[in-house]
């Protein structure tokens, strides 16, 4: 298993950063290798990715979601095995700290090589920085889901 952690400060209010992150279908706009995310229901998403020349499809489940604080997920099917947590912390009225932690198991030779060379780590960290650029450029969220999903 590999772990990636990254923190960025975004120049938008807490609710703006959090609300935009809940718009999973917009992830391809700032995440490299993510072709499409289909939101199945409040808890479940279907992902289509192309990373290191390999196309993968998998499903994720949100296991904990507390508005303006955190979203935790895990894969439930497909060749991709991962779990993650993104947290949000207000620094002041116009700045938010976004922390991302992911644990994943690379599958296949290309993904294992990309992991060993640090390519996957750099890509995931880059995705968080592209989120920063995306939301700061927009200045406001495109929507938001403020429901609570409790663990268990």
Residues 6+ apart with CB under 8 A from 146: 19, 22, 67
For residues 107 and 5, give the distance between their C-alpha atoms in angstroms, rounded to a whole number: 20
- Break the chain into its structural domains and give their ranges: 2-22+60-138
Rounded mean pLDDT, 100-128: 84
Residue 73 is predicted with a pLDDT of 98
Q: What pTM value is reported for the model?
A: 0.93
Q: Is it the case that residue 118 has pLDDT exceeding 90? A: no
Give first-to-last CA distance, the chain, whole Å. 23
**pLDDT tens digits, 23-63:** 999 999 999 999 999 999 999 999 999 877 889 999 999 99
Q: pLDDT tier at 123 (50, 70, 90 boundaries)?
A: confident
Rounded mean pLDDT, 77-91: 94
Nearest Cα to 62, choosing from 32, 29, 40?
40
For residues 107 and 80, give the distance between their C-alpha atoms in angstroms, rounded to a whole number: 7
Q: Is it the case that residue 149 has pLDDT exceeding 90? A: yes
SS3 (DSSP) at 17: helix
Residue 116 is predicted with a pLDDT of 82
Nearest Cα to 101, choosing from 81, 128, 75?
128
For residues 146 and 98, give the distance between their C-alpha atoms in angstroms, rounded to a whole number: 17
Q: Is it the case that residue 12 has pLDDT exceeding 80? A: yes
How far from 11 is each of 15, 97, 132, 140, CA to CA, in Å?
Answer: 12, 9, 8, 11
CATH class of 2-22+60-138: alpha beta
Q: Is it the case that residue 115 has pLDDT exceeding 90? A: no
Rounded mean pLDDT, 66-91: 96
Q: Is it the case that residue 65 has pLDDT exceeding 80? A: yes
Residues 6+ apart with CB under 8 A from 46: 37, 38, 40, 57, 58, 59
SS3 (DSSP) at 93: coil
């Amino acid at each position: 298993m590999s772990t990636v952690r990254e923190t960025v400060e975004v120049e938008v209010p807490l609710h703006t950063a959090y609300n935009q992150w809940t718009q999973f279908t917009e992830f391809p706009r700032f995440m490299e290798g993510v072709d499409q995310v289909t939101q199945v229901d409040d808890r479940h998403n279907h992902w289509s990715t192309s990373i290191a020349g390999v196309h993968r499809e998998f499903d994720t489940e949100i296991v904990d979601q507390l508005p303006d604080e955190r979203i935790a997920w895990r894969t439930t099917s497909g060749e991709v095995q991962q779990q993650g947590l993104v947290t949000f912390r207000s620094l002041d009225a116009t700045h938010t700290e976004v922390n991302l932690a992911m644990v994943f198991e690379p599958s296949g030779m290309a993904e294992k090589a990309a992991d060993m060379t640090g390519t996957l780590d750099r890509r995931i960290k880059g995705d968080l920085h592209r989120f920063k650029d995306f939301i700061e450029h927009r200045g406001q969220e495109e929507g938001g889901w403020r429901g609570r999903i409790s663990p268990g």
